[in-house]
Structure 1
Amino acid sequence: MDEKVDIERLALHSGLVVGGRSRKRQITYASLVAFALLSAASVLLQSGAFTYSRNCISHLSPLEQVLAQAPLTDGHNDFPIWTRAYYQNHIYQANFTSQGDLYGQVDFPRLQQGRLGAQFWSAYVECPRTPYSAANDSEDLYHEIIRDSFQQIDLVHRMIEHFPANLVPASSAAEIVHNFRTSPGRISSLLGIEGLHQIGTSASVLRMYHRLGVRYATLTHTCHNHYADSEAPSKPQHNGLSPAGEAIVAEMNRLGMIVDISHTSFATQRAALALSRAPVMYSHSSAYAVCPHSRNVPDDILKTLQKNDGIIMITFYPEFTNCESADKASLSDVADHIQYVGNLIGYRHVGLGSDFDGMAHGMRGLEDVSKYPDLIQELLDRGVAVNDLVGVIGGNVLRVLAAVEDVAHNSRHILPLEDDIKPFFK
């Protein structure tokens, strides 16, 4: 059989290419390769690097069938900033490999218990001390932030190098799949930045981050910036995206970086969804209809996300999960959000974005990173199909990443966005 035809056959039967977009989009060779690899890696036994086809896993429990068919992928983890805050990025002294020796919800033994296969580590740095406004939009505000961002990116690279038994680098959908198939027990490690204040006003900095493995950029954190409005503070500066923000979204599409719209205002979300030529992502948000918090996503925007073929990674953050009482938030509440979005726009558009180590304490039932399997089991007990959960735990975000890569591949004719630099000679 012709190689391309065979790849298309594998993609169509992988269970990860289901449903469709309202706009017909060509499935390119690169994404087919990624999906074919994922199909080939449909089962990976914990005891060794042996792959099996789906008809060989019927003897496994439904939970093990789900975990065997896609790498469990979390869209957002704040372990790096926790490491900066508590250990000043000194990873060679702190005990990362003994359970319970670190502050927070993350260490390597618990990550292994949680069966995590891939992680977007957040190279987060705080917003400027001076609130953004057009009047004080000076490059001087961002020099320290950009330096700190490079330190956080370097931290993740050093962690990958120092803990090779636990972590493995990845920068593409195909690499995640390859690692899932060949490196069981090791977590494919990618990066995200959390707010475009981390690039100041420079597309060049964004491109350097991408070269260092950053594969998504959240448009804002809890502050407005040069490019976009955040959901907090509530008074907007741009009424969504600024002209520079529209240009940076286009540059992210050209570059192959996922546009992440968690933390942004509803106006920013609508603008980014209308503009982006690639699927977008909420790295850690939930359903507004279940918990009416401004960090969550209303139904009308979720339906626009469906048309964009994007993904919402449901967060485990207590305050965004149970709006009646964050103290009573539980695993069951997270399952409610997943089911609500799955029933509204399809499970194809749902993933997991915990925000572990970005919260003081984990909620009941999802206290730390060891608890992912319990959430999957809860959803199985509620009747969510195995195939849908294969997408939720990782297949869907792999699809989005592969699609973003395809858009970049097809944008090679577009010139990079250039910075406006002050004249050197006066």
Structure 2
Amino acid sequence: MADLQDDLHPDGDLGELGMTGPCSAEAVVPGEPSAPVPDPCDSALHRAHALLAAHPVADGCNALPQALRTLSWYDLELGEGGVDTDVPRLREGRVGALFWSLHVPDGLDGDRAVGAALEQLDLAKAVAAGHEEGLRLARTAGETADARHCGRVAVLLGPAPAAAAGDSLGILRQLHALGLRVLTLAGVSWAGPDGLTRFGEEVVREMNRLGVIADLSGASVRTVRRVLTVSKAPVMCSRSAAHALRPHPANLPDDLLAELGAAGGLCLVPLSAEQTGPSVRDVADHLDHVRGVAGPQSVGLSGTYDSGAAHPQQLSDVSGYPRLIAELLERGWAESDVALLTWGNVQRVLRGADFAAKAAQQRRTPSTARITDLDG
């Protein structure tokens, strides 16, 4: 299996890569129409591959396990045309880590939601175990880096919806023991339009103690602000772009982006036509905006592949990331900022969650609070 460091210079010309605009034309020496000179966009794409070889993409939301449920047979090692994600395309796209979204159907709550989450965890683990030459389960920043160094793509479990915890801190602890790394705080009574309840605050404190990261995509403004106050660990928005550029409900207004950045959180911009727009340039516009408002340390990437979402042109599957990075380099992004975007910021959040958990475990024992005790 080819290592992530291989094939820095992709075969094929720019036309095959589907690039449009001025960069798609072959540059010619004045007075010598038949003598081509290096195309600056080709240089940007080569720079993108080289940069991603050292700082691969950590993709904040990928729904592959759920998509595989519709296939009677698949082989992710050889390549699988029925989904957006497989090992060859992950390597082509220079992806080093994936957060696998755990799907719970809308409307499920209580035991049914818990059961659906457990089935998703079981499926995700089986998929990773069945493709161990390309994928490796990880829980921590260290394990994520180790997987990359071994030429594997690290798989982290989550986000899962808050309903998966069944309003129980004991169930939350068991989900964490099974590998859950991220929980989305939306769609439950204790994290709703009015913000966190007393039980909701206890959930966040227990998540900090365990090392489960709070995902605030889709959460209410009051919930976002209260979590930023209560949480001792960095938080993330697993699939949120800039509301100022595209007023999608899951996108964040500038004031929340600024608060997220000030708190050391991370906004993972989705490669979704609905949330960011139909082109690579649209996605880059959102990345520019989030970086400008929240800071370069608070912006990342979220493919949302295999979630059923439509994707921008040239970003139809996980192999397209180098094209997006080339666009950012053409816009003048410093390589240090790109390295934060693709890999460094996710690693920082993972390390922050690990450090917060170790500190909290010295101060707190597992919480025995129940929702009926705190919220009545």
Q: TM-score range by the shorter chain?
A: 0.7 to 0.9
Pick from 166, 173, 180 the counterpart of residue 207 of structure 1: 173
Q: Which residue type is aligned with residue 204 of structure 1?
A: G
Report the Cα distance in structure 1 between the residues aligned to 2:117 and 2:203, rounded to whole angstroms.
18
Decide whether the 8 Å contact of 2:137 with 2:154 is kept in 1: yes
User: Is 1:120 matched up with 2:83?
Assistant: no
Q: CA deviation at 1:389?
A: 0.4
Equivalent pairs: percent with the same residue? 36
How well do the aligned residues superpose, as a CA RMSD in angstroms?
Answer: 2.1
Q: Which residue type is aligned with residue 191 of structure 1?
A: L
- Structure 2 unaligned blocks of 5 or more: 8-44
1:178 is matched with which residue? 146
Decide whether the 8 Å contact of 2:191 with 2:200 is kept in 1: yes
Report the Cα distance in structure 1 between the residues aligned to 2:167 and 2:294, rounded to whole angstroms.
35
Q: How does 1:7-406 map to 2 (within 5 A)?
A: 45-46=5-6, 61-84=46-69, 86-87=70-71, 93-102=73-82, 104-128=83-107, 141-181=109-149, 183-184=150-151, 186-220=152-186, 224-229=187-192, 236=193, 239-322=194-277, 329-406=278-355
Decide whether the 8 Å contact of 1:286 with 1:314 is kept in 2: yes
- Structure 1 unaligned blocks of 5 or more: 1-42, 48-59, 130-140, 230-235, 323-328
Decide whether the 8 Å contact of 2:272 with 2:309 is kept in 1: no
Q: Which residue type is aligned with residue 417 of structure 1?
A: S
Q: CA deviation at 1:193?
A: 3.3
Spell out, residue by residue over 1:377-420, the C-alpha distance to the aligned partner (whole angstroms, 9 max, x if none). 11011110111000100110100110111011111120112253
Report the Cα distance in structure 1 between the residues aligned to 2:371 and 2:166, rounded to whole angstroms.
13
Report the Cα distance in structure 1 between the residues aligned to 2:85 and 2:251, rounded to whole angstroms.
24
Structure 1 residues 360 and 216, CA gap change in structure 2 (3 angstroms): closer
* Paired residue secondary structure (1:351): strand
Decide whether the 8 Å contact of 2:99 with 2:158 is kept in 1: yes
Spell out, residue by residue over 1:191-243, the C-alpha distance to the aligned partner (whole angstroms, 9 max, x if none). 113311111111111111111221111112xxx313212xxxxxx3xx11122
Q: CA deviation at 1:108?
A: 2.6
**So what's the TM-score if we normalise by structure 2?**
0.83
Spell out, residue by residue over 1:65-95, the C-alpha distance to the aligned partner (whole angstroms, 9 max, x if none). 42133232001001112223x13xx6xx334
192-201 vs 278-287, which deviates more? 192-201
1:36 is matched with which residue? none
Spell out, residue by residue over 1:349-371, the C-alpha distance to the aligned partner (whole angstroms, 9 max, x if none). 11101111113432212111110
Aligned residues: 333
Spell out, residue by residue over 1:167-207, the C-alpha distance to the aligned partner (whole angstroms, 9 max, x if none). 012111011112222x22x2101111331111111111111
* Paired residue secondary structure (2:158): strand
Decide whether the 8 Å contact of 1:65 with 1:386 is kept in 2: no
Decide whether the 8 Å contact of 1:210 with 1:257 is kept in 2: yes
Report the Cα distance in structure 2 between the residues aligned to 1:76 and 1:44, rounded to whole angstroms.
20
Spell out, residue by residue over 1:143-184, the C-alpha distance to the aligned partner (whole angstroms, 9 max, x if none). 122112111111111111111111012111011112222x22
* Paired residue secondary structure (1:335): helix
